[in-house]
Structure 1
Amino acid sequence: MTRYLDAAALVELARRAEKKAAAPCSCTKTPLDGWQSQPLSLDETQLVEVATLTRDDDPEPTFAEYRPDNVQYWSPDAPIAPRYFPYNRCGVWECAQCGRLYLRYTEGGGYFVDRRIRALKSCLVEDVKEGSAPA
């Protein structure tokens, strides 16, 4: 079972990874600073799930988004708010080769399923209480 991380633990894990992951790696062929569909160039076998942002005690996580100043979902500068969508449905994945961390979730629509991925950056994590933020 994957361990749950709150915002503080997520920042700590991200900072440790950022210190050790400086070398180029095949996982960095495509910039993943903002959310995007997982690129085919990314070898999924080199990613290992190390944690989750999905709480066991929350059977239906919110679909509300945290978008201060109306920042766009796809923006590389969009904050990472673990209690808000899509972060509250993410796994935290580590590249087994270089140690970089990524957030991943599966977006499902009426006729499609899309695995999305975003690089985890500690400076973008915000611990915002659910229901207290602009959407």
Structure 2
Amino acid sequence: MTDLPKLSPADVARIAGEQPEACARCAPLAFKGWESFPGSESDAGLEPVGTLWRAGEEEEPTLAEHHPQGTNYWSGDAPIALAYFPANRSQVWRCRHCGHGFLRYTEYGGYYEDRRIRSLQPALIVE
């Protein structure tokens, strides 16, 4: 999806600040922390909004994470640190029905790909 617009941190904060709470259709995907996209759910109800990084067009972003309060990758209260992994490699998506926002990225392991998703929570966004 290289045709998605590039979003600045200010764009992401604006989108997050304007979004409603997750509706019944997207609530099963509204995880507080990063989770694997549930195999039982479809992403047909979501639409891409933009990207934070363009693979092949920009320098590889850092793989360092940002957890100043002792959180970890899976923590629901971990900061959404846009300059750090994995937010820095994410795309912003929203629910087609209500407009609730999500961050999505794909984790590439040795023998697998794992689509990950997290609810876009404005109070946790940091640059």
Judge same fold: TM > 0.5, yes or no. Answer: yes
Partners of 1:23 and 1:45 in 2: CA distance: 15
Q: Is contact 1:26-1:42 (8 Å) kept?
A: no
Tell me the equivalent position of 1:130.
none
Partners of 1:68 and 1:13 in 2: CA distance: 24
Tell me the equivalent position of 2:115.
115
Task: Count how many residue pairs are aligned between Structure 1 and Structure 2.
Answer: 124
Tell me the equivalent position of 1:52.
51
What do the CA deviations read for 1:11-31 (whole angstroms, capped 9, x no partner)? 1111111xxx24632210354
1:28 paired with 2:27, answer yes
TM-score by length of 1: 0.83
Tell me the equivalent position of 2:96.
96
The structure that is strand-richer by fraction is 2
Tell me the equivalent position of 1:14.
16
Query: Structure 1's 55 and 83: CA in aligned 2 closer, same or farther, altered over 3 A?
Result: farther
Q: Is contact 1:47-1:96 (8 Å) kept?
A: yes
The structure that is helix-richer by fraction is 1
TM-score by length of 2: 0.88
Q: Is contact 1:25-1:98 (8 Å) kept?
A: no
Tell me the equivalent position of 1:39.
38
Which amino acid letter does the alignment assign opposite residue 69 of structure 1? Q
Which amino acid letter does the alignment assign opposite residue 26 of structure 2? C
Q: Percent identity?
A: 44
Tell me the equivalent position of 1:132.
none
After TM superposition, the runs of 4+ consecutive aligned structure 1 residues lying more than 4 A away are: none
Give the greater-gyration-radius structure (CA): 1
For structure 1, the residue ranges without an aligned partner over 5 or more in a row are 128-135
Partners of 1:90 and 1:79 in 2: CA distance: 14
Structural RMSD (CA): 1.7
